[in-house]
Amino acid sequence: MLEVEGLIAGYGSIQVLHRISLRVERGQSVCIIGANGAGKTTLLRCLAGLLRPSAGRIAIDGADIIGGSASTRLDHGITLVPEGRRVFAPMTVRENLEMGAYRRLWPRRDRGVPADMDMVFDLFPRLAERQKQPAGLLSGGEQQMLAIGRALMSKPRLMLLDEPSMGLAPRVVQDIFATIRRLNAEGMSILLAEQNANMALKSAAWGYVIAEGEFVRDAQSDALSSDPAVKAAYLGL
């Protein structure tokens, strides 16, 4: 459903991504592993319409979308769970979820939004308990749930997740990844960027290895997990 070819992007005169190409099939779960600063966040920001690439092609279901903004990406069913969660700290949990559905509430109101909010509350009962609290008072794990919940409120078909394990306790990381696998099992396409290669390769079917803005390997996750070079560089084995 997502095809990227020869993507080049950067900030000002600094080029970060050098001719990146990747594919995510419908319902597939794909991960990108690599060290800090390898270009994972830059890539996801391009895909989410937050950063304009200088060259290349991004297509969703065959339609070119490279010039679009974040709003048009959302209309195409692409949503981003950003690095560091980035919840709206002074706003309540419920308001954060409403904001996730912003494109479906403005300018035209989608009647399905309340039902989707109930679905998010079913998925994360902790959020239902705390729906009137300011998001800034939640724990890190709860904020990550909220960030995923907010992304779900846009009714996406492809969810981009940037470092969902960052700064979280191992138990909480397990829960978050279980949720990601569950969403994938229910049909959501997933593109996940992670430093925690171990967790990422366990939950994705296909993996790309990124280093200095280029993909250096890509293969089935199982194959990558047992690759000696990947093991040594990213799995700490």
Under the binding rule (CB under 8 A), the answer on residue 82 touching another protein is yes
Interface with another protein, residue 89, by CB under 8 A: yes
- Binding residues for another protein, rule CB under 8 A, total 26
Contact set for another protein, span 140-159 (CB under 8 A): 150, 154
Closer Cβ to another protein, 55 or 89, answer by number:
89
Does residue 90 have a cis bond before it (omega within 30 degrees)? no
Q: Which of residues 33-52 bind another protein (CB under 8 A)?
A: 48, 50
Exposure b/e, 1-36, CB count within 10 A at least 16 = b: bbbbeebbbbeeeeebbeebebebeebbbbbbbbee
| Nearest distance, CB of residue 26 and another protein, angstroms | 23
Q: Which is nearer to another protein, 158 or 197 (CB)?
A: 158
Burial 173-207 (b: 16+ CB within 10 A, else e): bebbbebbeebbeeebbbbbbbbbbebbbebbbbb
Residue 233 and residue 224: Cα distance in Å, rounded?
Answer: 11
3-state helix, strand, coil in the chain (%, to 5): 40, 25, 35
The number of beta carbons lying within 10 Å of the beta carbon of residue 232 is 10
Question: Which residue in the set 62, 90, 170, 228 belongs to the binding site for another protein (CB under 8 A)?
Answer: 90
Q: Does 70 bind another protein (CB under 8 A)?
A: yes
Contact status: 99 vs another protein (CB under 8 A): yes
Interface residue with another protein, options 35, 66, 91, 223 (CB under 8 A): 91
Contact status: 76 vs another protein (CB under 8 A): no
Residue ranges in contact with another protein by CB under 8 A: 48, 50, 69-71, 74, 79-80, 82, 86-91, 95, 98-100, 102-103, 105-106, 136, 150, 154
